[in-house]
Structure 1
C-alpha cells in the first residue's frame, strides 16, 4: 500500500485522492486499487442456485462510497448487488400508490453488466462494458461515487457517470443483498428499472474480494453464519458440460449454466428443475376464470410470460394483466385462430404526455385445432418478442416514451377488470397449462395453496368441455338469432349429440340466391351454401353415422380466398370455390330448424324436411358465443337448458324375437320387418 501526498511548504497535493477522483492531470497505469488490505485471506464463494444469496449490513454511502469485487460466470442473467432506501410516496394525486425509493444495483442481463442508481431525482442505467462478461473468466469491478458523479470500471476500463437532478445523497435503508433476493420479497420495493429483480433472475457464479468503502468483507464467513443454502466456499469450473447427460426430461430444452444445467420446460407441459413434474391443467367452459389478485400493485418494465393452451375456438382470452387504475395491459388472446399480443402502456407517469395506444403482434395460425400450443412473450423495455411453438419469433418496438406496465391482477378465462377496455375479448373455452409470469407458475401455485390471492372457478384437470348445452326436444323446436355475419369470411363451431338420422341444424338466407345450411342427412353432416353463382354441397367426413348419441365437434370455416373447411371431430374436408366471394346474408339465423311452412321453399340441395332433435352446445359464431335461449329473437317449441338424452335407450332385449331396436330421442321403436312378428315390440 502507498498513500501519495506531495507537500511543498504550505501546498498539500493529495495525489492519490486526485487520481481516484479522475483528475485529468493524473494518469493511471495498470490496476490501481484505491484501498489497503491484506487480500490473500479472502476466499472466493460460488452461488450455486438462483435462490442463494447473502445479506450484508446496510451500506452507509450517503455522499461518497466505493464497492469492488471480482466475479466469474457463464450465465447470462443475474442480480449481483442490490439495496434500496425508505419508500417515499410521490406527491401525485392521480397515482398516490406510485412508490419511489433510492436504490443501487449491479446486474447482468443477456451477458452484459449494468450499474443502476437512483438518488431520488432520476435513475441512471449504465452498461459498464460493451462486450459480454459471461465467458467464464474473472472480471474485476470497481464502483466509486462522490455525490452525483462517479465511475464504474470493469478490469481497467472506466465508465464515468453523472446522475440527473439535484440530489447528491444515496439514502439506503435496507440490507445490501449479494447474489440475489429473498424468496418472500414482501418487505422489498422493486424499482421497475431493476429488471433482474422483477424477472426473478438470481446470480449463479463466483464472487471474490468484496470490498466496501475500502473494507474487505469475509463473505465466506457470512454465508456460514447465515447458513445459506447453495453457497459453496470455493470456485471451480467443471469442464464437463452438464447437458451432455440429457438431464431434462419430457423434451425440455437444456442449456449449460455455471456448473449446472438449466431446463426450459415451457413447451413440455411439465414443471420442475428437470421438467419431471406434470403441470396442472385448468379447464374453462366459457363461464370460468382464474384471477390472481396480487398483494401489491406491480410496476414492471420487463416480463417473461409463457403458457400452453388447447382450444377449438378461434377467439378467446388466454391471459391478461389488468389494472384498477389505468388501461395498462399485457394481453394474450386467440383472434381468428392466431395468437394476438396486445401491450398497452397507458399514461401513468407524472410528466407523461398522451399515451401512444396499444402495440399489437400476431403469431401462428389455425391454432384452434384442439392441439396443445406454447406461447412465449419476452418484453424488455420497449422491445417485444412473441413466439408460438417452435416458429420464428415475431418482434416489435413500442412507440411512445413509456416502458412501465402497471397491474393489480393476472386474469385468465374471463376479463373481469373491464373499466378501461374499449372492447372485451371473448371468454376462453379450452384448456390452459404452465402459465408462468416472471418465474411464478401460477396455476400450480394456486392448486397447491402456495399463494392465497388466487380466485378461480375454472376446474383443475383435463375435462371434456361442453359449454351451454341446449336440448331441442322435438323436431319442431327452433330459435332465431340475429343475422350471421359471413360476408367475406366466417368461422362456426358447435357440438351436437343426437339419435336422429336427419334434421336441419342451421339456416340463413340472403340477397338473391345466397344462403347457408348445415344439416344432418342419414346421419352424416352436410354443409350447403351459395355465394351467388350456384349452390355447393360439402359432405363432412366421418367413419360412421353421427347419430350415435355421442357428442361430436363441428368446425366450418371459409377464408377470404374461398377455401371452405369442414372438420368433424378429427377429420377434415376442404374445398375451394371459384367466382363469387361474398356471402350476403339477410334475415334471421335459424338454429335447430325453421317454421313448418318454410321447409318447402328451402334450396334444392337441402334435404331437410324437419328440424333437429337433440342437443347443441358450445355454439361459436365468428368468436361470438350466443346464448341460444336468452339471445334468441324468438323461440318455437320445446327448448331446454342442459342436455337430457333419451329417457329410454335400446337394450339387448328391448325388441322381442330378433327385432331391431331403433334409438330415437324420445324413446325407441322396433323394426320387425325381418321377423314374422309385428306390434310395437315385435311380439304380436
Structure 2
C-alpha cells in the first residue's frame, strides 16, 4: 500500500586519520558542569591519542588514549594526576569499537562497547567544567597545547558517529569547512588496510599489524627473520659437524626454508656423520600363528613425516636400514622365484620381496646374492624350512624404497613354526647439497640454471674461496627486476636487487681479505619486508623495504652462477 511517512536512517560518515599528525578539532559547549563525548573507532595500533580537551576555568585537561590496546582516561592538573582509569582490552584488532566518556559531579566514567564489564568509574576531588574545543586523534603542531603532545603519539585509524554533549557531529559540514577544523584527514571513507591479508608470515608465524606495517611472531616455529622464512636449524647432521658440534640430538630442517618443518634426530659424529631416525618398534618381535588368511602385519611410525624423511633421504649420499628376520620353519618364499610368503612395504607404498643385503627386484636375501645360503637350492636361509633357528639379516640400502613402513608375515601357522623380526633405525650419511662444489677457472666460466623463483621470499647460501679481487657469484635478470650477489672488492660483498622500487644494495665489509683462498660463507635473504646479507660470522646487514612499495621479484632469464 501507500507509505505516508518513513524514518531516515542517520548517515554514517567515517573519517580516516591518515598519519600521526592528523587531528580533528571540534567546538563544544564551554563551561558546562558535565562533559559527555561518544564515538566509534577502529585501528591496528596499540597506542594513540583518541581525545583531548582543556578544561574550562582550569589549566588542566583530560586525555583519552589507547595504551597496549586498552582505553585509558587521564584527568590532570599541572604536576598532578587527578584520575587515571582503564577500560577494555584488545581494542586494536581492526574492528569497530564504541567508547563513551562522561564527567559529571565529581565522577568520571568510561564505557567501551556498551558493556558493563568493559567500563570503569572513579571519583575526582573537584568539580570540573567543559572546555570549548575537543581534539580527536591528535592536536595541531602549532599552538600552546603542551598537554596534548604525548609520548604515545597521534591516532591512526578511523572514527565515526562522533557525538559531543549528546549532539551528533555532522562530518559533511566539517568537510565543507562549516564546522570545526582538521588536518590530514580523509572524510567519508575508512581507509584502514588489513596488512595481514594475505598473510606473508611463513611456517605458522603469527601476523600482527600497525597502521604502517605488519609483524611476524616466529616464536616456536623453528624459523626466524621478518617473515619467519629462514630456518634456525641446520639441514643435516653434516652441517652441524661442519660447525664443530659433537654427537647428540639435534633438530634438522631437511628442506631448509621450504614448507617442511624441523624434527629431532640423533647425529652420530664419532667417525662418519650418521643421521639416526628412530621409529616406534625397535625391539625384537616374535610371531606365531600367522597365515595368508590371518597375516601378521606391523606398521612403523617414525619421528618424522614421510615428506620429511623423503627430503632427508634425497639430500643424503647414502641411507640404509637393517632388517633382521629370524625363523624356525618360517619361509620368506615358498620356492625360488615363487610366491612370497612375507614382504615389506617402503615409503612409496610399493611391496618389496627382496631382503636385507640384497638388491631390488631379485627376490633374494643376502646369502642368495652371495651364493652362501645354508641350502643352495634356495635364495634365503629361512627358505630351507628347517626346524631350528636361523636368520636372514642385512641392510636395505636402495634409497628410493626407504624407509620400511610395513612388514607382513604369513608363514608361522604350521607346527613348530615361529619367526621374529627386528627393524633398525633409518641411517643416512653425507649431504649431497653441502659439498657440491664447482670450480670457475676463467673469467668467462659460469653455470646456468632455470629462472630463480622467489617472488615474495627467497634465500641463497653458499661457500666460496678465491684469490680474485672481484667477481659475480650469481645473477638473474628480469625486464626491470634483478638479483645479484658479487664480490665487489677483496673485503666487500654486495647483495643488490630491484623489485620495482629502484635498485637496492646490502653491503657487508670485512676487516680481513675475503680473497685469501679460504672458504667463506655467504647467506642472502630477501622477503617483502627486508633484505639481509651475512658473511661468515660478521654482523648481519639488512635493508628495509618501503611500506607500500612493490613486493614481487619478477625474473625471466636464466640464473647464472659464477
Tell me the TM-score normalised to structure 1 length.
0.27
- TM, length-normalised to structure 2: 0.32
Higher Rg: 2
